[in-house]
Amino acid sequence: MVVSNPREIPEYELNPLELQFRKSDESGKNVALNGDLGSYLQKKGRLSPSKALRLALDIARHNFPSCISSGVLHVNFLVFRGMNYLHECKPEPIIHCDLKPKNILLDSGGQLKVSGFGLIKLSKISPDKAKLPQPGSHVDPSSLYVAPEVYKDEIFDRSVDAFSFGLILYEMIEGVPAFHPKAPEDVAKMICLERKRPPFKIKSKSYPPDLKELVEECWDPEPVVRPIFSEIIVRLDKIVANGSKNGWWKDTFKFPWYASLTIYLLKPCVLIVDIEESMSIPRSLV
């Protein structure tokens, strides 16, 4: 069903268990017009602190307004979810488990969309804990962004996504992946087994100390130390506010979408969607 009048658009409560491994529909192709974050960082190198913060907020936040096109909210159930939105879904959080630059897409407006859910299968241990089944998990253990618990095939929780997020934020700040130019499999071993962390080589005046502290907490070996994404967003917003107040960043945060996103920060897991005729919705979703 396709509707043109927003008043005719039906409302569905999304079931995270049904959506966790659902592959993106055709509308998902529109969000990757500018490739992925991995390719972007290879091309651009080190980002300015303001740019890195803006993209970090894209990943962490529920990025709702950017889904709206010509007055119609198109459905791509998973790509349009920020990490906080996934982790706050009820009754159970959705754990990505394979967050990395290649799984973060750039849309035509330069905003980031989290993707890469379709290949991951998790065995639920409890409402907030999971484990990778063997075989067929499709998580590359040589990925330098994978959390130690995943690398060592242990039970994990949503903090594994915060771990990956910290390494991604580090890469945006430094311009290269952790321990570059070492091979990814060697880096994964250093991080997950030897508990080593890459040094911050960029001069500290280039970014606030609060940002470095946040990165270090995200990649802490102990899952309980890692902040949840709702806290990450609050801290990133505070860093942005302080930077803007001090006149450090005069361009990145003038975009209209940035201010408008605040009211959507912790929206409940209910979405008004435009359902395409070619897409079937399982009865358990409605």
Q: Tokens representing 8?
A: 């005719």
Catalytic residue among 36, 98, 107, 220: 98
98 belongs to the catalytic site: yes
Distances (CA, A) of 33 to 27, 43, 103: 12, 16, 14
Cβ atoms within 10 A of the Cβ of 235, count? 17
DSSP sequence for 118-177:
TT---EEEETTEEE--SS-----TT-TTS-HHHHTT--EETHHHHHHHHHHHHHHHHSS-
Which residues lie closer than 8 Å to 236 by C-beta, 6 or more apart?
53, 56, 57, 60, 214
Active site members: 98
